[in-house]
Structure 1
Amino acid sequence: MTDSDFRPHSSHWGAFTAAWRDGELVVRPHPEDPDPNRILQNFPRALRHEARIARPMIRRGWLEDGPGADPRRGRDDYVAVSWDRALDLLARELGRTAPERIFGGSYGWSSAGRFHHAQSQVHRFLNTALGGYVRSVNSYSAGAAGVILPHVLGPLESVSRRNVTWDQVAEHSEVVLAFGGLALKNSMVAGGGISKHVERRSMQAAAARGCAFVGVGPLRDDMPAEARAEWLTITPNTDAALMLALMHTLVAAGLHDRGFLDRYTAGWPVLEAYLLGREDGQPKDAAWAAPITGISADRIAALARSLAGRRVLVTVSHSLQRAEHGEQPVWAGIALAAVLGQIGLPGGGFNYALGALGHTGRRYNAVSTAALPQGRNGVGAYIPVARISDMLLNPGAAFEYNGQHLTYPDIGLVYWAGGNPFHHHQDLNRLREAFRRVDTLVVHELAWTATARHADIVLPVTMTLEREDIGSSQTDPLMVAMHKLAEPYGEARDDYAIFADLAARLGREQAFTEGRSARDWLRHLYGRTADDLRAKGHDAPDFDSFWQAGHLMLPEGPDDGGILGAFRRDPEADPLPTPSGKVEVASATIAGFGYDDCPGHPAWIAPRDVPEPGAPLRLVANQPATRLHSQFDFGGHSAEMKRRGREVMRIHPDDAGARGIADGDIVRLFNARGACLAAAEVTDGVMPGVVQLPTGAWYDPEDPAEDGSLCVHGNPNVLTRDAGTSRLAQGCTGQLTTVEVERFTGNLPPVKAFTPPGALAAE
């Protein structure tokens, strides 16, 4: 095997090349990546794993009894059918269901390729072939931030990705105050692909220059060792109280930037009155915040004083707003940066979710990269993405969202292609009940995820390695020709081929395909980037030359801070896209909504889900380090990092000792919503009173026929609450909940998450 045998491909966790040696796929990271991600090593074992789906499958109860609500979903067996039979049945079902009763779920990362991107494919199909579908808005990752930010600072994309860069941090930042940390496991992944992971070396360079990093959170390794960070432990979901106390200390000492507040912000008198206690009689000072946050008043005051007069960058991670009242720490972080007068300065101010993805902290490309157009959706109804169980369980019920009064639609058919709600949704027992209510659940999937096991029609699709595509991201200059590296597994087909056949059965093939093959679409999408390059004076190879070379470097845009930098330089000429054109540290618009769970200024609102006798520990259900969400949980790297086949839960020695738990024990986590097993790791890397169990272990109930059955694999979403952040955003609150943990002493049930469902008879 020589270098010429390796062909290029790309993934969310890195560009790479691969070749076959003795029947095994060998994966090499991109040679210029200074910090490649081991998640790439999930590919070789996943490619031909027994969890793959080989043939179209129909759930037996649906095939025999027809569409309708069915308690057997998730516990039934399947019948293998031909592609023609499966597509005929599905086309008939789509034809009888009105678009207003079809939910196009398809929430997930799917492929790094810009054409074989499952969400784009299914949404294009539903729009062009059926006329539309009920959609979702926002994301599980940033549900609260995506709604609050446009009101008070700017669009999510601008505040998170077109803002402060890692180059600026390395060169300019004097203090980085990282609420929720800057965990490298998160920045290892990026939609569309990533060629260079620069976060570790950027923090190392900044620290060597003298930049002080402060990581605020319950987990020590949310800051890399290279940052030399102070770990400031805080009671989870109390960051807003700490931010308010820091602001109060600065204002009381006259250390706030009054000139910036006067010129660049709106609503400061309202927020100042709240901070000083004029509104409710309670000053939000350090002494007030100490018992809430678990940080001493002296430490809070000292931290506040250390920030004054320095180039300070305040960052807020996704994790903080994936909790009750998640809008508040985002808004309070912006207000803190405004009080310090730092917004819009290189390496200073506020950056939402820096380090939460490989997208953030990078320059945008100077030319556009194309994506598959999705067509026009003729259906106006939508839901906030994390409210799917509410919708399916309560058709016709009223709900509030972002100042609007809306109604949940009555859904008959759910079409899912790309994504696994049994990874990212909360209270999985409730989700199971919700999925039982619909007439038909359709899933495109490459493996037997829990979502596939609840579907009525399961269509096997190719893995990214089994097809051609173009990998590109607006925040990475490397465009990759993703060559096909393996033949499809079994009878698996590309999503595009499936939808083209379905569209033909519905008489809408031309509207969906526009007469193009998959390779034709790649040429078309590449051509848009090539045209943009030439229009801006750059050379652009033709498609065949690009494909043979395997990659193309795109020119990068300026590192100018985006809309916040322009606003800082001239607020009159370049106002922010907020109602006032300024940073809204208090918002008349939000105040006008009248929400008691999201008032018109940043505020401390005590959470309801707090430790109690039956659930005395706080559970942090964060993102995993060994896979992207639940993708390829059966892959080599993910499997190797488990213990005894279970996901690993981390617990402080004090909490473990009090419960007789030793390192390596199998433990049971439980609360009123459910229970799961995990392997214990005893470590002082988590603060006392907190346990941490990452998401993404495939849901595996001990008895699928029993509601509330123990998940034997370690999926924390059997424990988390299915409730919105507030009436403003209705975002996901899955980051935190409360649990009890005990040593498991019974007969250890086997993990069956990756074993295909039984009784796979052929029709």
Structure 2
Amino acid sequence: MTFANPTRRAFLKGGAAAFGSASLMGSTALASIDPNSFPGRTFHATHYGPFEGVVRDGKLVGINTMMELDARPTEMLTYGVMDRTYDKTRINYPMVRKSYLEGWETGDTKPELRGKEEWVKVDWDTAWSLAAKALLDTATNHGNEAIFSSSYGGWSNAGAFRPNVMQGRLLNLMGGCTNTAGDWSAGAGQVVLPRIIGDMEVYSAQSAWETIRDHCEVFVLVGCDPIKNNRIEYRVADHGMYAHWEDIRDAGVKFISINPQQTATDEVLNAERTAIIPNTDTALFLAMAYDALENGWEDRAYMDKYTVGADKWIAYVKGETDGTPKTPEWAAKITGVDAAKIRELSKLIATHNTCIAGSWAIQRAQHGEMAYWAIINYAALLGKIGKPGQGVGFSWHYGNGGMPQGGNRTPVGMSQGRNFVKTIVPASRITEALENPGKKFFYNGQHNSYPDIKVIFNSGNNFMSHQQDTNRLIRALNKVETIISVDVWWTAATRWADIVFPAASTLEQDDITSGGTYSNDRVYAMKKVIEPIGESLPDYEIFEGLADKLGLWAQFTDSEEKMYHIKLAYEASGAAKDIPFEEFWEKGYARMPVPAEARKWTRHGAFYEDPEANPLHTSSGKIEMFCQDIADMEIDDCPGTATWLEKHEYLGNAKPGQLHVVSPHPWFRLHSQMANSERLRALYTVQGREPVRINAQDAAERTVLVEMRKCEDPEGPNMAYEKPPIIDDMEIAAIDEDVLGLDRLEALTEKLYADMTPGEKMFFERCTVCHAPREVTHYTQQQWKGIVPSMFERAGLDDSERALVMDYLMKNAADAPK
């Protein structure tokens, strides 16, 4: 049994799936198509790229790629988008879990049967009524903080009207809910980096690629794989950096990869790989700093001018504070990298113009903050941050980082509005929150308490697949009275819900979006290609119907149809000044110019040129190699400077025979999305299962065949892509809406929102359409100053709008004068 090597198959060789027009449908779908019908083409765009959907007799039969917009489309677009549209895992009708439907009046809904029992097909009115009652009962009896939104990401839909935005708008019209704080992608980095370098960094633009080509000599990839991870984007992928990575390589830049695994980027860029024990990057950079100090390569003048706390960190590196010098020999025992190799890397980086790219993966671990901090401190020690072709960046692998920034206004959807609930649950602590209502926890410098969650509302998000211990989460969910889920497919999150709203896929609804993430140089029409399958509805209509049940229809819709809002979103974009909406919608896309000066932009360049005029948004205005603010928090596992802290679990303390499992983002999927594409699965699965790769040495030591060996599953056959059992003929009594008390929210919106200032309205309308709105009081004035540059850029605010928002944020931040 063999399977495709994704790096070579999909990038180096391309393959037929990646270019031109892809068709092929299942024989059942093809059988219903009139062979004499004329195919039509409709423009659409997704996370996977722009395309024309080829439709015949109402069926999607092909994907026509748009080479002028995306020269390197992937199989996720050409195979996956079509396959999953008609996959058997589609949710075609509103569903309610059997025991929930039988016991909603008495409260005996048997939550312990979630994921085990049948689902009952119901009509939309019943589903909306039951969901509305659950929300109102919870808000009335327990307060809005007992409603928890687990929909913190928008990766199910690239549009401005994506489901988590619609859900946020509705719940905030009700008075709000407990939101998820942070995310799984870069949760540690986005909290700690504003205090260290004045910006979240993980979602920030990178130096323009031409500055790297023209000034960089060595480019270090620390767990970073842009060739693989830039195959998708949060909005619409156009793979704009791919050719430029090759330009940088061809200009003679030397690529170094520090990674436990060989990556697609390593192959494409001819990177020299240094294999490292996972989760030990901090030790490596500490040792290279020690070697730089030993050889006199540090830049004292730079540190004096641009940093604070350098001497304290240097004392730690030398071992003056703990008695352990961080020598290459010390690090070799931790990292698995030979001491001589560490010295070789140290000299190479210190004596050349070097840019260091850190992945999100290295901070997505215990003490992940320290890896980022060590990279920043090391680069600052050498005097590299802010110089053309040098410095640090933590988003080269996301959103085609390196593309010049257009700075254009992009379409924004409907405001999520103000959330009057202050409680939060960190993305990685959902299980803990469910188990421990009222428990105190410390997050981002503030003390908080977990709410007593009674309702979970989950839209376009598979939160069940994100937590560390799924069985523990399932047990914790038994405490939750109602789980409502909105999705296109049966996922773990929908299977463990009580009420499921079937959403139309993006191909079955109109929307609008933009791309790329940082270039912001295009607006895309996401035009409806086919009619919704079964009784599924567009996300806007799902929440419109629920809003109607709650008496909030006018507030939710502004008494307008969705297309009105789409047109409004376009007219607020930079494209509208040159191209009228009708012309844009007919063509499917509009381009926006990128200023010539953007091609020479360097990350942290303004700070380097004049640190007094352009200070960083840290407490000192400089790079904090030692941060007193963090030290004052007295957190046991997060000291005030970049420190090696041994992990609770890693190869350094593993028992004999134990292995470290590395689980990088897949080549053919967006997280778990696209796992229901049969043609994609044929490229990488073995007998329908995900393959596990093991290096030859470890395999030989365990007498495991280096080729293929089927894992025997004691739990039985793989049921991940099967529909749950469904009852479609159960007699259901009509629900008397009078007993539901659905009129409890009258006039609430007017009462809550009457006193919003212009800046507040602008913040909630323009700056919160991707993730849930950030609670203003959870961040200090200085932190907000570090967050807003990338936020404003992506929201497309002009100077006057930025001033309004900043005024609101400064007056309401955590440390604002009361």
2:61 to 18, 25, 44: 25
Q: What residue in structure 1 maps to residue 163 of structure 2?
A: 118
Q: What residue in structure 2 maps to residue 287 of structure 1?
A: 329
Higher percent of residues as helix: 2
The one-letter amino acid of 1:61's match is S
TM-score, structure 1 length as denominator?
0.85
Decide whether aligned partners of structure 1 residues 113 and 178 sit closer, same or farther in structure 2, where only a CA change above 3 A counts. Answer: closer
1:568 to 608, 614, 621: 608
1:321 to 360, 363, 366: 363
Q: What residue in structure 2 maps to residue 97 of structure 1?
A: 138
Give, in angstroms, the shift of residue 144 of structure 1. Answer: 0.6
Give, in angstroms, the shift of residue 254 of structure 1. Answer: 0.6
2:94 to 48, 52, 56: 56
Percent identity of paired positions between Structure 1 and Structure 2: 34
In structure 2, C-alpha distance between the alignment counterparts of 1:507 and 1:289, rounded to whole Å: 63
How does 1:188-227 map onto structure 2 within 5 Å? 188-199=231-242, 201-221=243-263, 223-227=265-269
What do the CA deviations read for 1:558-611 (whole angstroms, capped 9, x no partner)? 245466111011101000111110011110000001112010000000101134
In structure 2, C-alpha distance between the alignment counterparts of 1:603 and 1:550, rounded to whole Å: 51
Give, in angstroms, the shift of residue 366 of structure 1. Answer: 2.4
2:620 counterpart SS class: coil
1:441 counterpart SS class: strand
Decide whether aligned partners of structure 1 residues 452 and 296 sit closer, same or farther in structure 2, where only a CA change above 3 A counts. Answer: same
The one-letter amino acid of 1:409's match is P
1:39 to 76, 95, 114: 76
1:76 aligns with 2:117: yes
2:484 counterpart SS class: strand
Q: What residue in structure 2 maps to residue 545 of structure 1?
A: 583
| Number of residue pairs aligned between Structure 1 and Structure 2 | 676
Q: What residue in structure 1 maps to residue 722 of structure 2?
A: 755
1:144 counterpart SS class: helix
1:304 aligns with 2:346: yes
Q: What residue in structure 1 maps to residue 557 of structure 2?
A: 513
The one-letter amino acid of 2:719's match is K
Give, in angstroms, the shift of residue 452 of structure 1. Answer: 0.7
Decide whether aligned partners of structure 1 residues 127 and 57 sit closer, same or farther in structure 2, where only a CA change above 3 A counts. Answer: same
Q: What residue in structure 2 maps to residue 462 of structure 1?
A: 504
In structure 1, C-alpha distance between the alignment counterparts of 2:347 and 2:480, rounded to whole Å: 57
Q: Which moved more, 1:61-70 or 1:625-634?
A: 61-70
The one-letter amino acid of 2:571's match is G
**Do the aligned partners of 2:190 and 2:202 also contact (CA within 8 Å) in 1?**
no
1:257 to 284, 288, 299: 299
Decide whether aligned partners of structure 1 residues 191 and 97 sit closer, same or farther in structure 2, where only a CA change above 3 A counts. Answer: same
1:74 counterpart SS class: coil
Q: What residue in structure 2 maps to residue 335 of structure 1?
A: 377
**Do the aligned partners of 1:112 and 1:471 also contact (CA within 8 Å) in 2?**
no
2:399 to 343, 349, 358: 358
1:586 aligns with 2:626: yes
**Do the aligned partners of 2:43 and 2:588 also contact (CA within 8 Å) in 1?**
yes
Q: What residue in structure 1 maps to residue 49 of structure 2?
A: 14
In structure 2, C-alpha distance between the alignment counterparts of 1:347 and 1:427, rounded to whole Å: 42
The one-letter amino acid of 1:29's match is T
In structure 1, C-alpha distance between the alignment counterparts of 2:535 and 2:656, rounded to whole Å: 49
2:444 to 399, 402, 409: 402
In structure 1, C-alpha distance between the alignment counterparts of 2:344 and 2:160, rounded to whole Å: 52
Give, in angstroms, the shift of residue 35 of structure 1. Answer: 2.4
In structure 1, C-alpha distance between the alignment counterparts of 2:563 and 2:382, rounded to whole Å: 53
Q: What residue in structure 2 maps to residue 143 of structure 1?
A: 187
How does 1:157-236 map onto structure 2 within 5 Å? 158=201, 160-199=203-242, 201-221=243-263, 223-236=265-278
**Do the aligned partners of 1:73 and 1:435 also contact (CA within 8 Å) in 2?**
no
Q: What residue in structure 2 maps to residue 605 of structure 1?
A: 645
What do the CA deviations read for 1:92-130 (whole angstroms, capped 9, x no partner)? 1111111111001113334444333111111011011x1
**Do the aligned partners of 2:455 and 2:483 also contact (CA within 8 Å) in 1?**
yes
**Do the aligned partners of 1:160 and 1:351 also contact (CA within 8 Å) in 2?**
no
The one-letter amino acid of 1:105's match is S
The one-letter amino acid of 2:528's match is K
**Do the aligned partners of 2:290 and 2:327 also contact (CA within 8 Å) in 1?**
yes
1:54 counterpart SS class: coil
The one-letter amino acid of 1:608's match is H
In structure 2, C-alpha distance between the alignment counterparts of 1:111 and 1:606, rounded to whole Å: 36
**Do the aligned partners of 2:53 and 2:60 also contact (CA within 8 Å) in 1?**
no
2:180 counterpart SS class: strand
TM-score, structure 2 length as denominator?
0.80
The one-letter amino acid of 1:10's match is A
What do the CA deviations read for 1:533-574 (whole angstroms, capped 9, x no partner)? 57xxxx422211110111100122424546611101110100
In structure 2, C-alpha distance between the alignment counterparts of 1:602 and 1:253, rounded to whole Å: 21
Give, in angstroms, the shift of residue 501 of structure 1. Answer: 1.3
1:107 aligns with 2:156: no
The one-letter amino acid of 1:56's match is P
In structure 1, C-alpha distance between the alignment counterparts of 2:216 and 2:64, rounded to whole Å: 34
What do the CA deviations read for 1:202-233 (whole angstroms, capped 9, x no partner)? 23222222211110011112534221111100
The one-letter amino acid of 1:382's match is I
2:711 counterpart SS class: strand
**Do the aligned partners of 1:180 and 1:222 also contact (CA within 8 Å) in 2?**
no
Decide whether aligned partners of structure 1 residues 579 and 637 sit closer, same or farther in structure 2, where only a CA change above 3 A counts. Answer: farther
Give, in angstroms, the shift of residue 145 of structure 1. Answer: 0.5
Q: Which moved more, 1:205-214 or 1:296-305?
A: 205-214
Decide whether aligned partners of structure 1 residues 219 and 74 sit closer, same or farther in structure 2, where only a CA change above 3 A counts. Answer: same
1:525 aligns with 2:556: no
Decide whether aligned partners of structure 1 residues 258 and 159 sit closer, same or farther in structure 2, where only a CA change above 3 A counts. Answer: farther
Structure 1: runs of 5 or more not aligned: 669-676, 678-701, 703-709, 711-748
Q: Which moved more, 1:272-281 or 1:647-656?
A: 647-656
1:387 to 402, 419, 429: 429
